[in-house]
Chain A
Amino acid sequence: MLDEVLEKLKADSTFQNNVTHWEVIPPRKGRYREIPPDIDERIVSALSEKGIERLYTHQYESYIRVRNGENVVIVTPTASGKTLAYNLPVIQSLLEDSSSKAMYIFPTKALSQDQQAELNETILSGNLPLKVFTYDGDTPTSIRISVREEGRIVITNPDMLHTGILPNHTKWIKFFKELKYIVIDEIHTYRGVFGSHMTNLIRRLKRIASFYGSKPQFICCSATIGNPLELSERLLEEDVVLIDDNGAPSGERHFIFYNPPLIDRVQGIRRGVVQESRRIAVSLLEGGIKTIVFARSRLRTELIASYIRESLDKFYKRGHNIEVASYRGGYLPSERRRIESGLRNGRIRGVVSTNALELGIDIGGLDASVLAGFPGSIASAWQQAGRAGRKSSLSLSILVASASPIDQYIIMHPEYFFAKSPESGWVDPDNVYILVDHLKCAAFELPFDKDEPFGGPAEEVLSYLEEGGTVRFTGGKWYWSDRSYPAEGVSLRTSTPENIIIVDTTEGRNEVIGEMDLSSSKMLLYDGAVYIHQGDQYIVDRLDLENKRCYVSESRENYYTDSIVKTDIKVLEVDEKTPACGIDAAIGDILVRSQATKYKKLKYHTHENIGYGEINLPADEMHTRSVVLLFSEDTLPGSYFRELEEPVQALLMEKLGNLFKNIAPVFLLCDPRDLGIAERVKDPFFASPSLYIYDMYPGGTGLSEGFVARLAEIVSGSLELVSGCPCRSGCPSCIGPSEAGFGESGQATGKNPKAITIQFLEKWVGTFRNEKESGF
């Protein structure tokens, strides 16, 4: 069916006019090994029931390596049987040794539930005597004891391990004594600050295991990432074997880059990504193609899904409907399960999703994926594209570009996309901020022996903590001596896990229909907002932040709503101003405030603005640390800056910000999403052009201090990067892409931003290189 559709697309000249690239990735044959003879009969028959008679080479290799006692990291594409690659050796070992246990760690609760369902299926069909439990915040108190006592495989997440399990490890004696395997899936999510927390969490986990005399072996899995082996060795601080020789077959894949047509050539306005993605998805679905659409926000997900349903309703007479679901965070677990199983058994033919379906949730095979906008990273784009494609059949992925500079760059430069390797992940477990937090937690869990290895300058930090009385050194050990429960004060993630419950109150009903995290709710669930849930439309009657409830009722408006969010930065306190690289760098505390103050009412389909409403909700505030680079007139770089015309100054500032965000993670061992950037040509606080680089974790994690310490390297590295970059006028890898047409027609400032940036950086680097040479 898909080949017919592809032929049709090839012949369609209007469609072809908008295609900037058509990549055909050839099919791959599967490579297999026999199921190893030592595997338990019951597993073999359970596998056979699922139609598995032999293993892919990578599954076989992982089995052999794990059974041989090695730590492994498995990196193969979606739907290549990764789950089996780790379940097989674990289940076999657990069957051989009836007391041993395994812990599975997934980054989110949704993934844990999915995994438990899959494991139970295998275990039940094989009648295996293994109990699998999920232990997270949703686990009822009544069954927690049996999880601890009877669970052979316990599935959990890092947050639960951090605040629930480790600080109460005496309740888990039986489990820790016999802990043999730790499976960590989706390890690519543990990078940057989150990854640094994770490494310390693993240090703590190993410490507790060794207290009970066990030394667990690690099995990691990762999606596409630039440096999986390096990342996993840094996370585990042990030797790891990389298994990335994918033995799973794949069919021919077509990857089409599609740029919506211009509707206003003069202003360069293109048709919207929402409507274009809908059109493409509808024609695929009508052709009988199982399709997934990835949208970049929850609102767009619901909007595209609603449009698709409407179009299909027009096309089909009753009784021939194609079911199309929307999928995003915030649905109730039962609803998510229903959609997932509907996709697997084919009842649901199409789905529109946020990146929630990008991770390993099992939804079976789909034929086509439509990326409604570039998802922001190369790795994500491949992951989303990979959702389409079964073992042997043809598949199609279409990237539909939005008007944003980054989308336009990618769509016009397909060679950039196909040649660039995916982003790498870094961690810095010895970051003092993070280390201090985890040493406190670790001391609470078990007293520290003098000279006990933990990682980083542990002893120095402990003796420092002792000065403040948080720990006490006596009898050759450091004891926790504070009344608090330290894990409670340490969050592994940027946002608080608090959720708002959405309650439908239509006609005296009182039913929970969904949930949403606190900060998103302020942007999406304000009084008067239109809330779309699986195509059903509701209006928000009242958002009760105090009781974490949002009351909605059914509505039939002809518009949807979108809030206008303002973010501003307030300097709270400047701790120090130090000269660095010829300019002044200020370090201090700032308050980043984001607030939705108004919302637009937008008519469906035309998206025209038909009115406004006020939003009266408290701002979202984050108190964090920032470094501010000050280009004041009395410094040399500052004077170079002043020589530029004002619009060019603003442009340069923006480009420097992009550049630093791209390059600083390499030096600071963090992730680009850990850094926030704000630029102000006229800064009211410092009264000079200022570039803010701040920490995205509340309270800061030392990135600002680190940034100043390595400023010279970052600035020189930036110059190297941008001048060595093969692009013409800026691309996502260096200073960021320019507005469409820039550099050619000479719009806006009339200058090539890349040239401006290089010139400025050369002069700037010149100032401090000279200082060094002159004996500074």
Chain B
Amino acid sequence: MTTYSKVKQTLIDLKSAQSTMEHYAKITQDEKSRKIFERSARKLEPTLERLNKRIQRMEFEEPQYKGS
């Protein structure tokens, strides 16, 4: 597994974690937990962006990854 695909996998994992937390924020009955889940899901956003940028950069530097 190349670093590129590993980073991509991590990005996908984090995205799924984010959507799970958003789901919990909607479904939970407890106000405090709802806030924590909402905040955490939002807090994940910059990390996702950074990883996305990193992946784009990797694709730019090594075009053979693109589309894989």
Partners in one complex: no
Q: Which residues of B contact A (CB under 8 A)?
A: none
